[in-house]
Amino acid sequence: MDNVRKTLPALLLVALAACGGGSDVSRTSVPVATDETSAPDTSVGPVDSAPEPKVSGVVIEVTVGVDDDPGRVERIALGSSVTLEITNPYEYDEFHLHGYDLSTGDTEADETATITFTADVAGTFEVESHVTDEVLVTLVVE
């Protein structure tokens, strides 16, 4: 019984330490030398050394009569993968991306036309309706 009295307080301390003991103590890891001749590595470097991707995916949605506007400008990073999703809910249309010379072809009313491309040419490019010749959005690739 005397051994239990001696070890019980130690066990309680270990249990409290493992559970945090209800205190607001922050825990921090400290570098420890592996032998007497080596010092701990205290240098601060990037957590993730993987390079950031240069190409990102961009989706631009345009609905004629809702959010199309010749003054609407979408900025895109050079090298990005871009998907244009264009819908004319009211009538047949055909859409064209100038500068890249990409077209959706005939698109029925309320169908979504899609143009997917890599923005590999810098500049300013208009997306327009071939039926009305109106600019729906301007893309700026930089």
Q: For the chain, what are the domain ranges? A: 57-141
What are the pLDDT tens digits along the chain (142 aa)?
Answer: 555 455 545 544 444 444 444 444 333 334 444 455 555 555 444 544 544 444 579 999 999 999 999 999 999 999 999 999 999 999 999 999 999 999 999 999 999 999 999 999 999 999 999 999 999 999 999 9
Q: Measured at the alpha carbon of residue 110, what is the angle toward residues 58 and 81, in degrees to the nearest 5? A: 15
> Sheet holding 95-97: strands in order across?
73-76, 135-141, 123-129, 95-97, 102-103
Q: Are 130 and 93 in contact (CB under 8 A)?
A: yes
What are the φ/ψ torsions at residue 5 (nearest 5 degrees)? Answer: -65, -30
Query: CA 103, CA 109: separation in Å to the nearest integer?
Result: 16
Among the listed residues 104, 126, 101, the one whose alpha carbon sits nearest the alpha carbon of residue 113: 104
For residue 60, the cross-strand partners are: 84
CATH fold of the domain at 57-141? Immunoglobulin-like (2.60.40)
* 136: DSSP letter: E
User: Would you state the pLDDT for residue 52?
Assistant: 44
DSSP notation for 50-69: SPPPS--EEEEEEETTTT--
The model's pLDDT over 79-98, given as tens digits with 9 standing for 90+, comes to: 999 999 999 999 999 999 99
Q: Which of 40, 24, 42 is nearest to 32 (CA)?
A: 40
